[in-house]
Structure 1
Amino acid sequence: MDDMSGPVLRWRVRCDLLVLKIAAALVFAGATLVSIGDLRGAILAGAATVMMAGLALRDLLVPVRLSADGEGLVVVKGFAGSERVPWREVERIRVDTRTRFASRTGLLEIDTGESLFLLSQFDLGAPCQQVADQLSSFRTGA
């Protein structure tokens, strides 16, 4: 997966976010147990437990969401898979920034023409623009 002939850049989910997801799953599991007498409450808390546990499991299985080497990129795909994308297939790397309700969010977009990979700051553990700049510099050797 990695090119051993040169440097490899990696971006991963921050450990503190993983711990937070695990803690939330445990809290929701406790709420599910407490809500056994209330069917709707138990269903909602149980669904939240499953969702948070699933997100934490994904972070455990695939902590590195994006890596780059001299050959190209490896990008997370689906729940816990990944896809190797050679540099020649990468058409564009950019950050899509949106402002909504006074909050600004950005997504790193890696466009191959056939696929579009979207990664957030939470996926990367770093600001999207910083990652885009590092990828561009790494790709061009600047």
Structure 2
Amino acid sequence: MPRRVTALKAAGVVVFVVVALLGDRPQLLLAGVAALGFALLVFRDLYAPVRLAAGEDGLIVGGLAGKERISWNDVDRIRVDSRRRYGLTTELLEIDAGDQIHLFSRFDLGESVYDVAEALMRLRP
């Protein structure tokens, strides 16, 4: 995870706390919710900085709820989902593991989703 993205999220917390303190009642509620949302994202980035790890025996997917091991035998598909909407392109690494689908963005991985997908395909037996 790039540190500058976490720093921007932390700056968002500060900005929305200031808006909440200086604003009127409706602004307090909206800015408070936004500050809380950014704070949760910062906490996630600091608590679980590694979202995906891979090795010869499979994958480790991490998040706020903990880490989960996924064997290569359980991985059905690895692909990049690219969508263009409102002039923006969103790319997500999609790992289909039976009943679960894990999605990772460039910000989750710290690298291009295409590069990570290629590396996972090379590791996968």
Task: Give me the TM-score of the superposition, normalised by structure 2.
Answer: 0.94
Q: Secondary structure at the match of 1:82?
A: strand
- How well do the aligned residues superpose, as a CA RMSD in angstroms? 1.1
2:32 corresponds to which of 46, 51, 72 = 46
Query: 1:43: Cα distance to partner?
Result: 0.6
Q: How does 1:78-93 map to 2 (within 5 A)?
A: 79-93=64-78
Q: Does 1 or 2 have the higher relative contact order (CA < 8 Å, sep 6+)?
A: 1
42, 47, 51: which one pairs with 1:65? 51
Aligned residues: 125
Of residues 56, 74, 93, the one that matches 1:108 is: 93
Q: Quick one: distance in 2 between partners of 1:39 and 1:97?
A: 40
Give, in whole Å, the separation in 1 of the partners of 2:105 and 2:6: 15
Residue 26 of structure 1: how far off its partner (Å): 0.9
Aligned counterpart, 1:9 = none
Does structure 2 retain, via aligned residues, the 8 Å contact 1:62–1:80?
no
Give the Cα separation in 1 of the matches to 2:93 and 2:104: 5
- Bigger helix fraction: 2
- What's the % identity of the aligned pairs? 43
Q: CA deviation at 1:102?
A: 2.0
Specify every segment of 5 or more residues in structure 2 that has no aligned partner in the other structure, as ranges: none
Letter in 2 for 1:57: F
Q: Is the 8 A contact 1:21 1:55 kept in 2?
A: yes
Measured in 2, the distance between the counterparts of 1:68 and 1:107 equals 17
TM-score of the pair, normalised by structure 1? 0.83
- Structure 1 residue 31 displacement after superposition: 1.1
Residue 5 of structure 2 corresponds to which residue in structure 1?
Answer: 17
Name the SS of the counterpart of 1:64 in structure 2: coil
